[in-house]
Protein backbone atom coordinates (compact mmCIF):
# COMPACT_ATOMS: atom_id res chain seq x y z
CA UNK A 1 0.00 0.00 0.00
CA UNK A 2 1.38 3.42 -0.95
CA UNK A 3 0.11 6.83 0.07
CA UNK A 4 0.69 9.16 -2.90
CA UNK A 5 1.58 12.72 -2.02
CA UNK A 6 3.07 11.63 1.28
CA UNK A 7 6.64 11.06 0.12
CA UNK A 8 5.59 7.71 -1.39
CA UNK A 9 5.65 5.74 1.83
CA UNK A 10 5.26 2.05 1.07
CA UNK A 11 3.36 0.28 3.87
CA UNK A 12 4.05 -3.40 4.47
CA UNK A 13 2.25 -5.75 6.86
CA UNK A 14 4.22 -8.84 7.78
CA UNK A 15 4.24 -11.50 10.49
CA UNK A 16 7.43 -11.87 12.47
CA UNK A 17 7.37 -15.60 11.70
CA UNK A 18 8.19 -14.70 8.08
CA UNK A 19 11.06 -12.31 8.92
CA UNK A 20 14.53 -13.07 7.67
CA UNK A 21 17.67 -12.07 9.54
CA UNK A 22 18.13 -8.94 7.39
CA UNK A 23 14.69 -7.59 8.34
CA UNK A 24 15.27 -8.40 12.02
CA UNK A 25 18.51 -6.42 11.82
CA UNK A 26 16.73 -3.49 10.12
CA UNK A 27 14.07 -3.39 12.85
CA UNK A 28 16.66 -3.61 15.60
CA UNK A 29 18.68 -0.82 13.97
CA UNK A 30 15.62 1.42 13.68
CA UNK A 31 14.78 0.77 17.36
CA UNK A 32 18.36 1.62 18.25
CA UNK A 33 18.18 4.95 16.40
CA UNK A 34 14.64 5.90 17.43
CA UNK A 35 14.97 5.10 21.10
CA UNK A 36 18.66 5.94 21.57
CA UNK A 37 19.23 2.51 23.07
CA UNK A 38 22.55 2.05 24.78
CA UNK A 39 24.48 -1.14 24.19
CA UNK A 40 23.68 -2.74 27.56
CA UNK A 41 19.92 -2.57 26.82
CA UNK A 42 20.11 -3.50 23.14
CA UNK A 43 19.72 -7.25 23.68
CA UNK A 44 16.56 -6.83 25.79
CA UNK A 45 15.10 -4.52 23.16
CA UNK A 46 15.96 -6.95 20.36
CA UNK A 47 14.22 -9.76 22.25
CA UNK A 48 11.12 -7.61 22.67
CA UNK A 49 11.08 -6.59 19.01
CA UNK A 50 11.00 -10.20 17.85
CA UNK A 51 8.29 -11.12 20.38
CA UNK A 52 5.78 -9.08 18.35
CA UNK A 53 3.36 -11.18 16.32
CA UNK A 54 3.24 -8.89 13.32
CA UNK A 55 4.50 -5.53 12.14
CA UNK A 56 3.25 -2.64 10.07
CA UNK A 57 6.30 -1.07 8.47
CA UNK A 58 6.90 1.97 6.30
CA UNK A 59 9.62 2.09 3.67
CA UNK A 60 10.76 5.15 1.82
CA UNK A 61 12.97 4.48 -1.17
CA UNK A 62 13.42 0.91 0.10
CA UNK A 63 14.66 2.10 3.51
CA UNK A 64 12.77 1.13 6.68
CA UNK A 65 11.84 4.49 8.22
CA UNK A 66 8.90 3.72 10.51
CA UNK A 67 7.39 0.69 12.25
CA UNK A 68 4.76 -0.52 14.70
CA UNK A 69 4.92 -3.92 16.37
CA UNK A 70 1.74 -5.77 17.35
CA UNK A 71 1.61 -8.45 20.02
CA UNK A 72 -1.38 -10.82 20.06
CA UNK A 73 -2.13 -11.45 23.71
CA UNK A 74 -4.95 -12.70 25.90
CA UNK A 75 -5.03 -10.62 29.06
CA UNK A 76 -7.13 -10.95 32.20
CA UNK A 77 -9.02 -7.86 33.37
CA UNK A 78 -11.09 -8.17 36.51
CA UNK A 79 -11.44 -11.91 35.92
CA UNK A 80 -12.40 -11.59 32.24
CA UNK A 81 -10.23 -12.82 29.37
CA UNK A 82 -9.82 -10.31 26.57
CA UNK A 83 -8.10 -10.60 23.21
CA UNK A 84 -5.69 -7.69 22.93
CA UNK A 85 -3.68 -6.28 20.06
CA UNK A 86 -0.78 -4.83 22.02
CA UNK A 87 0.78 -1.90 20.20
CA UNK A 88 4.46 -1.33 20.89
CA UNK A 89 7.78 -0.57 19.32
CA UNK A 90 6.31 2.49 17.60
CA UNK A 91 9.42 3.96 16.04
CA UNK A 92 10.36 6.39 13.29
CA UNK A 93 13.88 7.13 12.15
CA UNK A 94 14.88 10.53 13.63
CA UNK A 95 15.53 11.98 10.15
CA UNK A 96 12.00 11.10 8.99
CA UNK A 97 9.89 12.31 11.91
CA UNK A 98 7.04 14.82 11.71
CA UNK A 99 5.92 13.63 8.27
CA UNK A 100 2.85 11.69 9.43
CA UNK A 101 4.37 8.26 8.86
CA UNK A 102 3.47 6.89 12.30
CA UNK A 103 -0.11 8.06 11.86
CA UNK A 104 -0.35 6.27 8.52
CA UNK A 105 1.04 3.06 10.01
CA UNK A 106 -1.25 3.28 13.05
CA UNK A 107 -4.28 3.82 10.79
CA UNK A 108 -3.29 0.77 8.74
CA UNK A 109 -2.68 -1.34 11.86
CA UNK A 110 -6.08 -0.42 13.33
CA UNK A 111 -7.81 -1.23 10.02
CA UNK A 112 -6.12 -4.63 10.01
CA UNK A 113 -7.16 -5.26 13.62
CA UNK A 114 -10.78 -4.47 12.80
CA UNK A 115 -10.78 -6.67 9.66
CA UNK A 116 -9.54 -9.83 11.31
CA UNK A 117 -11.82 -12.83 10.97
CA UNK A 118 -14.20 -13.92 13.72
CA UNK A 119 -11.79 -16.54 15.04
CA UNK A 120 -9.01 -13.97 15.38
CA UNK A 121 -10.88 -10.84 16.39
CA UNK A 122 -9.51 -8.46 18.97
CA UNK A 123 -11.54 -6.94 21.79
CA UNK A 124 -9.19 -3.97 22.24
CA UNK A 125 -6.01 -2.37 21.02
CA UNK A 126 -3.85 -1.53 24.05
CA UNK A 127 -0.68 0.45 24.44
CA UNK A 128 1.53 1.89 27.13
CA UNK A 129 2.98 5.36 26.75
CA UNK A 130 4.71 8.24 28.48
CA UNK A 131 3.22 11.67 29.27
CA UNK A 132 4.28 13.39 26.03
CA UNK A 133 2.48 10.78 23.91
CA UNK A 134 -0.93 10.98 25.66
CA UNK A 135 -2.34 13.74 23.37
CA UNK A 136 -1.14 11.92 20.24
CA UNK A 137 -2.98 8.69 21.07
CA UNK A 138 -6.01 10.47 22.54
CA UNK A 139 -6.50 12.26 19.19
CA UNK A 140 -6.58 8.85 17.54
CA UNK A 141 -9.39 7.52 19.73
CA UNK A 142 -7.48 5.86 22.57
CA UNK A 143 -8.53 6.54 26.13
CA UNK A 144 -6.58 6.14 29.32
CA UNK A 145 -7.73 3.46 31.73
CA UNK A 146 -7.17 3.61 35.49
CA UNK A 147 -6.81 -0.13 36.02
CA UNK A 148 -3.62 -1.27 37.74
CA UNK A 149 -1.53 -3.34 35.30
CA UNK A 150 0.81 -6.15 36.31
CA UNK A 151 3.66 -7.16 34.00
CA UNK A 152 6.50 -9.64 34.18
CA UNK A 153 9.89 -7.95 34.31
CA UNK A 154 13.16 -9.74 35.03
CA UNK A 155 11.21 -12.74 36.34
CA UNK A 156 9.19 -10.66 38.83
CA UNK A 157 5.58 -9.46 38.66
CA UNK A 158 5.52 -5.69 39.05
CA UNK A 159 2.96 -2.92 38.92
CA UNK A 160 3.40 -1.04 35.64
CA UNK A 161 3.63 2.72 36.13
CA UNK A 162 3.30 4.22 32.61
CA UNK A 163 0.00 5.30 31.08
CA UNK A 164 -2.34 2.56 29.88
CA UNK A 165 -4.53 3.35 26.89
CA UNK A 166 -7.12 1.27 25.05
CA UNK A 167 -9.22 1.53 21.92
CA UNK A 168 -12.33 -0.68 21.67
CA UNK A 169 -12.38 -2.89 18.59
CA UNK A 170 -15.38 -5.11 19.34
CA UNK A 171 -17.90 -2.80 21.01
CA UNK A 172 -17.25 -4.22 24.48
CA UNK A 173 -16.78 -1.78 27.35
CA UNK A 174 -13.44 -1.89 29.14
CA UNK A 175 -13.97 -3.85 32.38
CA UNK A 176 -13.04 -2.77 35.87
CA UNK A 177 -10.40 -4.59 37.86
CA UNK A 178 -6.71 -5.33 37.79
CA UNK A 179 -5.01 -6.20 34.52
CA UNK A 180 -2.68 -9.16 34.13
CA UNK A 181 -1.00 -8.91 30.73
CA UNK A 182 0.15 -12.53 31.00
CA UNK A 183 3.82 -11.72 30.52
CA UNK A 184 6.08 -8.84 29.58
CA UNK A 185 4.78 -5.49 28.48
CA UNK A 186 4.87 -4.63 24.83
Rounded distance, CA 51 to CA 55, Å?
11
Task: Look at residue 118 in the predicted model and tell me its pLDDT.
Answer: 47
Q: So where are the chain's domains?
A: 2-180
- pLDDT tens sequence across 3-29: 444 458 999 999 988 988 999 889 988
Per DSSP, the three-state class of 7 is coil
- pLDDT tens sequence across 38-60: 555 545 544 555 578 899 999 99
- pLDDT tens sequence across 60-93: 999 999 999 999 999 999 999 999 999 998 999 9
Q: Are 70 and 87 in contact (CB under 8 A)?
A: yes
- The CATH code of domain 2-180 reads 3.40.630.30
Q: Are 110 and 125 in contact (CB under 8 A)?
A: yes
* β-strands 124-129, 80-92 pairing: parallel
Model's pTM, two decimal places?
0.85
Closest to 89 in 3D by CA, of 71, 69, 60: 69
Amino acid sequence: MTFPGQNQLQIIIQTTASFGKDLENEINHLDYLAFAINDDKAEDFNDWAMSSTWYVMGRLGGKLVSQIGIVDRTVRVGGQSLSIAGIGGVATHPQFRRRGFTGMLLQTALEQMRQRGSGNSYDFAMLFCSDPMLPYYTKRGFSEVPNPVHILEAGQWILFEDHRMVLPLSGKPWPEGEVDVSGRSW
